[in-house]
Structure 1
Amino acid sequence: MPRHLLKLSDLAPAEARQIVLRASALKRQADSGYRPFVGKTLAMIFTKNSTRTRVSFEAGMARFGGHALFLAAGATQIGRDEPLRDTAQVLSRMCSAVMIRNDSQRDQEEFAAHSRVPVINGLSDLHHPCQLLADLQTWFEHRGDPRGKVAAWIGDGNNVCHSFIEAATLFGFTLRIAAPAGYQPDAAVMGAAGDAAQLADSPAAAARGADLIVTDTWTSMGQEAEQQKRLQAFAGYQVDAALMQLAKPDAIFLHCLPAHRGEEVAAEVIDGPQSLIYDEAENRLWAQMALLEFLFGIAA
Structure 2
Amino acid sequence: MHFQEKSFLKEIDFNASELTYLIDFAIHLKALKQQHIPHPYLAGKNIALLFEKTSTRTRSAFTVAASDLGAHPEFLGKEDIQLGKKESVSDTAKVLGSMFDGIEFRGFDQQVVERLAADSNVPVWNGLTDSWHPTQMIADFMTLKEQFGTLADKTIAYVGDGRNNVANSLLVTGAILGVSIHIAAPASLQPEKWVRKLAEQYANESGATIFITDQVEEAVKGADALYTDVWVSMGEEIDVTERINVLLPYQINASLMKKTGKADTIILHCLPAFHDQQTVMGKQLAEQFQVPALEITDDVFKSERSKVFEQAGNRMHAIKAIMAATLGNLFIPTSFFEQK
Q: TM-score range by the shorter chain?
A: over 0.9
Which of 154, 157, 160 is equivalent to 2:166? 160
**Helix, strand or coil: the match of 1:25?**
helix
What is the aligned partner in structure 2 of residue 206 from structure 1? 219
Give the structure 1 partner of residue 331 of structure 2.
299
Deviation at 1:57, TM superposition (A): 0.3
Q: Does the CA contact (< 8 Å) of 2:168 and 2:191 recur in 1?
A: yes
1:20 aligns with 2:23: yes
CA RMSD after TM alignment = 1.4
In the other structure, the counterpart of 1:76 is 81
The one-letter code sitting in structure 1 at the alignment partner of 2:38 is G
The equivalent of 1:285 in structure 2 is: 316
Q: Give the structure 2 partner of residue 274 of structure 1.
A: 305
* C-alpha deviation, 1:83, in angstroms: 0.8
- CA distance, structure 1, for counterparts of residue 95 and residue 210 of structure 2: 40
Matched, 1:190 2:196: yes
Q: SS of the residue aligned with 1:176?
A: strand
Measured against aligned partners, the alpha-carbon deviations of 1:105-142 in whole angstroms (never above 9, x if no partner) come to: 11211221112101111000100011110011111111
CA positional deviation for 1:299: 2.8
**TM-score scaled by structure 1?**
0.96
Q: Deviations over 1:271-292 (max 9, x none)?
A: 1011001110000000011011
Contact kept? 2:175, 2:181, Cα under 8 Å? no
Deviation string, structure 1 residues 133-176 (Cα, Å, up to 9, x no partner): 00111111111212222110101121011110111122111101
| Bigger Rg, structure 1 or 2 | 2
After superposition, the C-alpha distances for 1:26-74 in whole angstroms (9 at most, x for unaligned) are 1111111221111111101111110000000001111121111100122
Deviation at 1:79, TM superposition (A): 5.5
What's the counterpart of residue 141 of structure 1?
A: 146
Structure 1, gaps ≥5 residues long: none
Residue in 1 that maps onto 2:266: 252
Aligned-residue offset at 1:200: 2.1
Distance 2:270 2:132 in 1: 13
| Whole-Å separation in 1 of the counterparts to 2:15 and 2:306 | 29
- Which residue is equivalent to 1:171? 177
Aligned equivalents of 1:175 and 1:80: distance in 2?
A: 39
8 Å Cα contact 1:165/1:197 also seen in 2: yes
Correspondence 1:51-70 to 2 at 5 A: 51-70=56-75
- After TM superposition, where is structure 1 displaced by more than 4 Å over at least 4 residues in a row? none
> 1:93 deviation in Å?
1.2
Residue identity over aligned pairs, in percent, reads 35
The number of aligned residues is 300
What residue number does 2:251 align with?
238
| Amino acid in structure 1 at the alignment position of 2:23 | V
Q: What is the CA–CA distance in structure 2 between the aligned matches of 1:76 and 1:226, rounded to whole Å? A: 32
Return the alpha-carbon distance in structure 2 between the equivalents of residues 35 and 4 of structure 1. 20
- Counterpart secondary structure, 2:120: coil
**Tell me, what secondary structure is at the counterpart of 1:75?**
coil
C-alpha contact 1:219 1:226 (8 A) present in aligned 2: no
Q: Which amino acid aligns with 1:187?
A: K
1:224 positional shift: 6.3
Indicate the SS of the match to 2:48: strand
Separation in 1 of the partners of 2:16 and 2:315? 19
Q: In 1, Cα distance between the equivalents of 2:53 and 2:192?
A: 22
1:264 has 2:267 as partner: no
Task: In structure 1, give the amino acid aligned to 2:184.
Answer: A
Give the drift of 1:221. 0.6
Q: Contact 1:73/1:79 (CA < 8 Å) preserved in 2?
A: no
Q: Using the alignment, how far apart are the partners of 1:299 and 1:224 within structure 2? A: 46
Aligned residue runs from structure 1 range 59-138, under 5 A: 59-78=64-83, 80-138=85-143
